[in-house]
Structure 1
Amino acid sequence: MKQNVFGITGWKNSGKTTLTERLVAAFSERGLEVATVKHAHHAFDVDQPGTDSFRHRAAGAREVAVVSSLRWALMHELKEEAEPTLADILTRLSPSDLVLVEGFKRGSHPKIECRRGEARDQAPLAGSVPAIVAVASDAPTADGGLPSFDLDDIEGIVDFILAHLNLQKRKNR
């Protein structure tokens, strides 16, 4: 099954997470099943010190699965392994209509670049980062013919992504 992957990229504080969150809600409201992948440039922990699963990992478990009647999570310690690629991670996801990827800016998947006045860096990524196909900004932009959206134009961005990936809108299930 072909995966429909679309990225959200930009500098720190450019609005990537907020846009991703709003897009997930809008696609879900339209009846699409959405998965997300978030790249972190730093050490992170989804577990808390003192929990049983944290204690299992601290004791040396390579993988720890936490399972309940509402959700499950699998944590994998890389140890000496290299960071997995986006392609590696995509193979581990359950089937969905769309995968939104936050980060992984050097990947070949199509991306929308987020820009905000409060971003750490103001240099445009379009033109230097591969596969940027549109820009979403809190200010007018001039980007050599790339489609441009206001960061708050969620419906317009959703329509653009659907058209770009040739995905059909679905009714609520």
Structure 2
Amino acid sequence: MKARLGIFGVTGWKNSGKTRMVANLVREFTARGLKVSTVKHAHHSFDVDQEGRDSWQHRQAGASEVALVSRNRWALMHELRKEKEPSLDDILARLSPCDLVIIEGYKREDHPKIEMIRETQTPRPASDPMLWREDPSIVLIGSAAKMDECPLPRLDPDQVSDIADFILAWLEKARSDAAE
């Protein structure tokens, strides 16, 4: 991993506010002068290409990787073609150096995370338990709901600056603890 400060995840069940939180954190951290990268795990099939375009035709012809480049951005599409999905570590190793990587999803991976819980999601049905109960890598709850039973710190999702401060302090403490 090439992130100077480290990685921090945003997790939770569907429609819990994960994407909104990631976007807000990216805005907050970049406004503070940090270079931020993100990784989003999708449980569904997706395509960043458009049917019929030249790059799409390259992939359909069998190319395993297609780089699409312009003066504004570039993208590298890799077709798995029966290969297994790459691990989070494999993806992190491909990122360019940055200050911070924010990960959306990957709820079963072992990196520090904030669990997003909408007020209307508490209490959760037994089929969707609160993740913090089983995942020791969740270190913060993002929720406006009152959660007396939860021992973790909780911040309202609208307090993005406070959440960013918490993340930076947590990563700094983890780095200093690891150095000891």
4+ long deviations beyond 6 Å: none
Residue number in structure 1 paired with 2:161: 155
Question: 1:35 touches 1:96 (CA, 8 Å); kept in 2?
Answer: yes
Aligned equivalents of 1:143, 1:67: Cα separation in 2: 51
1:23-68 alpha-carbon deviations (Å, 9 max, x no partner): 0000000000000000000111111112111111111111000000
Aligned equivalents of 2:37, 2:153: Cα separation in 1: 24
Amino acid at match of 1:132: I
Higher helix share: 2
Amino acid at match of 1:154: V
Residue number in structure 1 paired with 2:89: 87
Aligned equivalents of 2:149, 2:41: Cα separation in 1: 26
User: CA-atom RMSD, angstroms?
Assistant: 1.9
Aligned equivalents of 2:76, 2:108: Cα separation in 1: 26
Residue number in structure 2 paired with 1:111: 113
Q: Extract unaligned runs of 5+ from structure 2.
A: 174-180
Residue number in structure 2 paired with 1:128: 134
Which of 10, 13, 33 lines up with 2:12 in the alignment?
10
Map 1:1-173 to 2 at 5 A: 3=3, 4-117=6-119, 122=124, 123-166=129-172
TM-score, structure 2 as length reference: 0.87
Question: 1:108 touches 1:131 (CA, 8 Å); kept in 2?
Answer: yes
Aligned equivalents of 2:47, 2:40: Cα separation in 1: 13
What is the DSSP-based 3-state SS (H/G/I as helix, E as strand, rest coil) of the residue aligned with 1:165?
helix
What is the DSSP-based 3-state SS (H/G/I as helix, E as strand, rest coil) of the residue aligned with 1:126?
helix
Question: 2:2 touches 2:95 (CA, 8 Å); kept in 1?
Answer: no
Question: 2:2 touches 2:96 (CA, 8 Å); kept in 1?
Answer: no
TM-score, structure 1 as length reference: 0.91
Count of matched residue pairs: 167
Identity %: 57
